[in-house]
Structures are given as structure tokens and as C-alpha cells.
Amino acid sequence: MNTPGFHHFTMFSGHAAATVRFYRDVLGLRMVKTTVNFDDPGTWHLYFADRVGTPGTSLTFFPWEGTAPARRGHGSIDALTLRVPPGSLPAWAARLQTSGIPAEPADRFGEPILSTTDPDGLQIELIEAKALPGVQPWGGNGVAADHAITGVHSVTALLWRSGASLPLLTQVMGLQEVAREGRRIRLAFDPDQAEAGYYDLVEAGSGTPRHQQGAGAVHHIAFRAPGDEHQEAWRSRLGEAGFHPTPVIDRQYFHSIYFRERGGILFEIATDQPGFTIDEAEPDLGTSLVLPPQHEPLRARIEAALPPLEMKAEPAAGNREAGADVSALDSHKHLWVRGDLGDHPALLALHGTGGSESDLLPLAARMAPGWAVLSPRGNVSENGMARFFRRHAEGVFDIEDLHRRTGELAEFLAAATNTYPLDRGLVALGYSNGANIAASLLLSDGDVLRGAVLLRPMLPFQPGELPDLAGVPVLILAGEHDSMIPGESTLALEQQLRDAGAEVEIHWLPTGHGLTDKDLQLATDWLARRRFRSEEVASAPAAAHA
């Protein structure tokens, strides 16, 4: 008796809306079920999968708003590798780059993978592979159906020693070793059928800490049992092998037993039936909050307690203060994400060419946890791709348009200051074209921004008279191999900012135009280190324009 493959994967995350933004809007998965943690109905349980939640495709999340991040370490599932159709990896690399999400190519058993992280730091990898059998790809949210993710290909279990975990996997569960590479041992569900998937074990080096649960942690992984009788057989067999499985628990969409493997990872065996259409028809999956019968009487209270799933622009027009310049605020389509209203500024997210007001939100949530985010969309369309100002050619800017658009954005920010709680000012987070408009804002007026993170910027224009940027902190992250940004132009920007009095920190990373984990780490550390405490506020920035 072998287990035929994976069933689902359950994670903790830090913010429901950021989780939705990444898995639904960036990875393009279908949110097939919107429900609550049955044991704690004040928290969400969100399921992302293919069209119907075919076993082997479901990633499920318990978002705990603001929970501390997990500590990566041994005794955990450290990475999930998702299947994308053969030939689609370059398109995925481009999509992640446009979204400002760090991703890096790597190699696994001679095959290319693309490695990225979700908003909580969980490692998510993409690999070109045949779809899991029976998968119904979900095209949506800008992902073409022929590029859609088609299930989990493999997982990486990080263990102190693999020897403790292997007997269960191979002798009891029937997986077979098929390859080794460095510290990685690959087990196959079915060596003759690559589509069945793999369980990889990696021995952590000495000095690797033990994993701690938190946001971005895999809580457990579930394997398939085709039916209840198979599950009952598994239960006896695991009991005989000394693994103390739980009784069968009804999880509404499947029946489950749980046990812990000897490396410390929580395993579940879940049945294929009854599936996600038991309480919603296929076209309606995930579109409304579904509660199990025992929680239905509390629906109103539960709905009121659940955090928002969407990063929505707020407030509505009726909440605007009298006198706010409504037309200037409407000059840019934008999103406003309310932060925890702590003692820090808001982030002004400025996307790159071809991006939108939602693209940088996951990155912003990672770099500046808890900060409010104001994210406008660029008003210029270049072959349908949004930008913040026109250009004549790659790197050759339309200076007249640049100045006009910079002024337009400054007026938008002044109007936003009268509408949203921006009294602690704005720190720009710009990528590529967004970094260039941020640099243009800085070089045009010393009062608009309190600081800036400029990812892959260049000098947008040669300033005549420099503004006073005394003490304004600016972080520049540049790619040594960036084919789109001339290095000397980035250096010229650095010089102009320094001459204006800005406190510039610049790092040259051994990479190209796309962002990497190193960008994320440097920007996160810098934003935390600079602190931007309220006493640093000289005056309410941007208000000068009102």
C-alpha cells in the first residue's frame, strides 16, 4: 500500500490581505474556499488551488494578523515547489519582476527552477513540469490558462538528520529514493510516474537552529488517501509502526488523521472526498464566507471580527475632509492600505513599467510590516503598460513630460495628505520607472518625501538648482549586471542626492534588473534601522503643496 501523492499544504501567514494578494493575484491560483479556522472561528482559513481544488493543488492558510515571522530551521517543510507548464518559466520570471517580487533562478537535479518567497518569507519555487493528473488549470488574474500553476511538484523537508525520517517515508508510506544531490535526497511517490511528485529531504548543517512556528511556516502537509477505507488502513498501519495517529477528524471537505514524523514535521492523511463542491457549486467556489453548521449562528459576529481580505482603497469620497482637492486625488488611480497606525511614516509605493498600483503591495508588506501604504498607478501608457512619465527610448526620457508628471504626482500627494492619515510623512519605495519618478520628486522638491528606497534607479534629469535634502535618508540598490540601467547614471543620481544633503546608502548587488532576496533583506533592514521616528518630522511633508 503506497500513498499516491500530496493532498494539501497548510501554512501560517501574517496578513490575510497580503496572502490573498500574493497567491491569488500574483500566482493566479483560485481561492476555492473562504472559511474560518474551525477551532478558532475569528481567524480565516483560506484555500488556494486549481479550478476545483484537485488533491495535490491546495495551499491553505491560517492568517494571524501581525504574528511574528517563523524561524527557518530544521524540523520543517522549508520550501514548496509548484508546477508551471513547460516553457512558461521565462513568463513567470517576467511576471514576478513586474510585480517587484524578488525571484532568483536556481538549479535542482539539472532542471531550472525559479525561487521566490511569499509575503511572509515562505520559500516558493516554480519548476516546469507536467501537470498533476486530473488538474483543472485556473486562468485568471492576468495569468493565462496555459501558464497556470498545476499543483505541487515537490517539497523540501529540512531535517537535522534524514535518517530519522526515512524509514517512515520509504518502509511505511512506500516512497522510493530516486536521486541524491549534495545534502538533498529525493524520494518519489512513483518512480515510473514523474507527475506523482517528490518529497525531498535536506540535512541542515550543524548550527542550523530548530524551526519555530510563525508567519511563513508550513504547519503541516497532507498526503492523499483515495477513500475512507484507505485512510482506516493507514491508521492501523501507522499505529502498528508506532506513530500514534489521531482519530479520524471531519474537516468538511475531507476526512483527516494526523501524526508527527520523527524529524518533527506534522503529517496528515486526507481523503479525496467529499471535496470543495460539497457546500458551494463550482462557479461560486471561494466567493463568499462559508461556515460549518456549528458556527452558522455566529455568522454576524464572525464576519465583524475577521480582518479584511482585500487591500482596498479607503476611505470613500464621503469621508474626505472638507477642502480636500478631490480632482488632484482623483488624478491617480491608487490604493490605500491602512497600517497599524504606529509611530512611523507611510510608504509611497511606485511600480515599474508595466506594473500597477497593487504590484508592490506584497513587497511593501515585507519591507515595512505594519506601515500604511499609498500606491498610485502611473498615468502614462506605453503600449498598454503603465508608467509614471514618457520616454523616447530605453533610458531616454521625455524631460518635459517628466517634469509635468512629477508635479502632477506631487499635487496628488498633497491632496492625499488631506484625505489619509499621512501626518508622519511618506517614504518612497520605487522600483525601476517608479524609482526614477521618486528620484525626480526628491530632486524637484526637498519637502515631498521623508526618505526613499530606490530599487534600480537612474538620474531622471540633470537638476539645475538642487533642493535642500539635508538629512533625508535614501537607500539605492543597484544591479551590477543591470542591462536596463547604465551604472554611471545611478552613480550620477547618488552624487546629486549627496550634493543636495541627502544621507545616501548605496549597494551594488551581483545581479540584474530583477529584484533578489538580497534587495528585500537590505531594504527591510534599512527601513527598520532608520526608524523614521516621529521626532524626526520637521513639518508635515507634502502639506506645503496643499
303 residue type, one letter: E
- How near is the Cβ of 216 to Zn ion at its closest, in Å? 17
Q: Residue 125 interacts with Zn ion (CB under 5 A)?
A: no
Tell whether omega for the bond before 486 is within 30 degrees of 0, i.e. cis: no
- Contact of 118 with 13, CB cutoff 8 Å: yes
Least Cβ distance, residue 448 to Zn ion (angstroms): 48
Burial class (CB in 10 A: 0-12, 13-18, 19+), 62: buried
Pick between residue 9 and residue 138 the one whose CB is nearest to Zn ion.
9
Per-residue interface string for the shown chain with Zn ion, residues 154-193, x marking contact by CB under 5 A: ----------------------------------------
Of the candidate residues 78, 203, 261, 268, the single one contacting Zn ion (CB under 5 A): 268
Q: What is the nearest approach in angstroms of Zn ion to the Cβ of residue 188?
A: 22
Q: Which span sits near Zn ion by CB under 5 A: 89-97, 218-226, 278-286, 313-321?
A: 218-226
Minimum distance of Zn ion from residue 234's CB (angstroms): 15
Q: What are phi and psi of 173, to 5 degrees?
A: -90, -10
Cβ proximity to Zn ion, 292 vs 501, nearer residue: 292
> At closest approach, how far in Å is the CB of 222 from Zn ion?
5
Sign of the CA dihedral with 409 first, then 414, 418, and 422 last: positive
Terminal alpha carbon distance of the chain: 72
Which lies closer to Zn ion via its Cβ, residue 256 or residue 418?
Answer: 256
Q: Does 222 bind Zn ion (CB under 5 A)?
A: yes
Rounded to 10 degrees, what is the CA torsion of 22, 26, 29, 34? Answer: 40
Q: Which of 3, 4, 6, 10 binds Zn ion (CB under 5 A)?
A: 10
Q: In the structure grid, which three cell numbers stand for residue 96, read together?
A: 514576478
Site for Zn ion contains 415 (CB under 5 A): no
Q: What phi and psi values does residue 532 have, to the nearest 5 degrees?
A: 50, 50
Q: How far is CA 538 from CA 21, 472, 473, in A?
A: 35, 11, 14
Q: Are 403 and 426 in contact (CB under 8 A)?
A: no
CA distance 126 to 81: 6
Closest to Zn ion by CB, 39 vs 192, is: 39
385-412 as b/e: b if 16+ CB within 10 A: ebbbbbbeeeeebebebbeebbebbbbb
Position 25 contacts Zn ion (CB under 5 A)? no
Burial class (CB in 10 A: 0-12, 13-18, 19+), 529: exposed
Please state the closest distance from residue 76 (CB atom) to Zn ion, in A. Answer: 15
CA distance 273 to 252: 9
Least CB distance to Zn ion at residue 268 (A): 5
Label the pairing between strands 346-350 and 426-431: parallel
Stretch that binds Zn ion, among 64-72, 144-152, 268-276, 473-481 (CB under 5 A): 268-276
Binding flag, residue 271, Zn ion (CB under 5 A)? no
The CB-of-266 to Zn ion minimum distance in angstroms stands at 9
Which listed range, 198-206, 267-275, 398-406, 485-493, lies at the site for Zn ion (CB under 5 A)? 267-275
Ranges assigned E (strand) in 228-371: 249-250, 254-260, 266-274, 334-337, 346-350
Instruction: Name the one range near Zn ion by CB under 5 A: 2-10, 138-146, 158-166, 411-419.
Output: 2-10
Among the residue ranges 19-27, 104-112, 264-272, 393-401, the one whose residues contact Zn ion (CB under 5 A): 264-272
DSSP letter (8 states) at residue 95: H
- Amino acid occupying residue 362: P
Tell me whether residue 10 or residue 76 sits nearer to Zn ion (CB atom): 10
The distance of closest approach from Cβ of residue 256 to Zn ion in the complex, given in angstroms and rounded to an integer, is 6
Q: How many residues bind Zn ion (CB under 5 A)?
A: 3
Q: Residue 261 interacts with Zn ion (CB under 5 A)?
A: no
Q: What residues contact residue 287 under an 8 Å CB cut-off, 6+ apart?
A: 34, 280
221 binds Zn ion (CB under 5 A): no
Report the nearest approach of Zn ion to the CB of residue 220 (Å).
6
Closer to Zn ion at the Cβ: 222 or 363?
Answer: 222
Which residue number, 128 or 268, has a Cβ lying nearer to Zn ion?
268
C-alpha cell at 111: 532542471
Question: Closer CB to Zn ion, residue 268 or residue 519?
Answer: 268
Sole window of 9-17, 108-116, 151-159, 196-204 interacting with Zn ion (rule: CB under 5 A):
9-17
Please tell me whether residue 359 binds Zn ion under the rule CB under 5 A. Answer: no
Judged by beta carbon, residue 224 or residue 332, the one nearer Zn ion is 224
Where do contacts with Zn ion occur on this chain (CB under 5 A)? 10, 222, 268
